[in-house]
Each structure stands twice: as C-alpha cells, then as structure tokens.
Amino acid sequence: MNEHRDIDPTGLARLHRLGGPAFVENMIDLFFREIPVRLAAARKGEQTGDLRAVCAAAHSIKSSAMNFGAISLNAIAEKLEAAMDANNSHELSKQLDDMEEAYARVKSWLESQKASLKT
Amino acid sequence: MKKIALVEDNADNRLLVQVMLGDLFEVIPYESGGEALEGIARDKPDLILLDISLPEMDGNEVLRRLRADKATSALPVIALTAHAMAGDREKYLATGFDDYVTKPILEEEILISTIHKVFAGRASPA
C-alpha cells in the first residue's frame, strides 16, 4: 500500500493524544463495524436507484475517514457525495468499487496499527 | 458540570466528541433527531451540539421543532456541519443556530472555545 497517498498518520496520532490506546482501539473497532454497513447501504442504493441513500452513506464514510486521516477514502467519498447531490450516477458503480478498495487498504493499515497498540 | 446534548448519527464522531468534552461537560449522546427531541425534553441539557446531516429528520428540522417548543425554544444550539462554505456562519445564524463548528473536528480547542463563546454570549445580553 502506498501509505503516503492513502493515510495521513497524524490522524491516528491525534486520536492517541486525545484518548490514549484504549480510545484508539475503540475508534478503530467502531470504524470496522460502521463502514461496512455504510458501504452495503451505498451498494443497495445503487441497486435500487436510491441516490439519496448513496449520498447519505458517502457523507458518513467521508466524515469517519477523516477522523483517521484516511485521505483517499475521504476524497472518494466526498466526490461520490457531490455526484449524488448533483444527481449524477454516470460513474456510480466504479466510484463504489473505488470506495470499497480504498476502505480495504485503510482497514489493512488500521489492523496493523491496532495490533501494535497491544505490543 | 454543565450538560451538553450531542446529536450525531456517526458512532465514531459521537465517541470522539465525548472524549474531547468529557473532562469539562457531561455529554449526553443521541443517535437521531427523533431520539434527541424526546431525550432533550427529559434530560434538560444546557446546550445542544446538533449535526446537520442526520438521516430521516435533519438538523434544521430538529432545530425548527426545538424552537417551536416553549420548553426548548431558548436552548443554545451549535450546528455541526461538514458542508462549510463562505457565508455558512451567517446562514446558520439566520436559521436560528447560535454558532457552528465544521466537521471533521480536528482540534478540540475549536469546539470548546465555541461552546464557551456561546455560553458567554447567552450570559451577557447584547
């Protein structure tokens, strides 16, 4: 993974400063629990033509991504939200693919960070 | 310790704000506008942090209902919004919010100073 492109590590450092390792672990667990639900909601919105549902999911993912300094995921979600706001679903399928891939990269990085909290 | 109601659908954002404010205020979290309207009447907070982009009932509608209810009409309300653009502050003030804070909230000092500013403004009438 190109960490420099995907992640700003100061995001996690900021969370650590705020609440320490237990808080960071809680935040990561919430991220792992919430984002797949939002991704699934976005896919369901694509399948049913509910662009407002896609927009709401992208908005939520954008916000959560920024809490962790997940730059790529945030940018993709922001672009998707703007497209849905403009009622533009031309590239929706590819945008959702990109968002899922970006989440997978962030998840992999956060899993390694979470493991290091215990050492 | 003053009570702050936090209306935010994102679980990680709720936890983040609770940690940011937990040493200074009693933070009461609500996941939705409907839950907040019920809870605020019961819990009687001193100030409300209200996310704008809530599902089902958005923050603007929650504010409208709070202002329409005699029991909650005077409560200070700060908007939490990711849609920050030039002129937004004036727009939110005109809508009836006391102030607004842009998400993501990267520094707790901004949130805390805005809360203190709103409390101070309410304590000393213009």
Distance CA A78, CA A74 (A): 6
Is the predicted ipTM greater than 0.90, yes or no?
Answer: no
Looking at residue A2, what is its pLDDT? 47
- Backbone phi and psi for residue A9, each to the nearest 5 degrees, phi listed first: -65, -15
Spell out the domains of chain B, with CATH numbers in brackets.
3-123 (3.40.50.2300)
User: Do B50 and B7 form a contact (C-beta atoms < 8 A)?
Assistant: yes
Distance from the Cα of A69 to chain B's closest Cα (Å) equals: 10
Residue type, B118: V
Q: Which residues of B touch A30 (CB under 8 A)?
A: 11-12, 15
Cis-peptide into B76, omega within 30 deg: no
Give the tokens for residue B115. 């809360």
Residue holding tokens 């995921």? A73
Between chains, do A34 and B11 touch, taking CB under 8 Å as contact? Answer: yes
Task: Classify domain A3-113 at the CATH class level.
Answer: mainly alpha
- Average pLDDT estimate for A7-32: 94
pTM: 0.90
pLDDT by residue, tens only, chain B of 126 residues: 999 999 999 999 999 999 999 999 999 999 999 999 999 999 999 999 999 988 889 999 999 999 999 999 999 999 998 766 667 778 888 999 999 998 888 889 999 999 999 999 888 755
- List, for residues A20-35, the tens digit of each pLDDT value: 999 999 999 999 999 9
Residues composing chain A:
119
Q: Phi/psi of residue A100, each to 5°?
A: -65, -40
Residues of A in contact with B19 (CB under 8 A): 18-19, 23
Beta-carbon separation of B20 and A18 below 8 A: yes
A39 in Cβ contact with A105 (< 8 Å): no
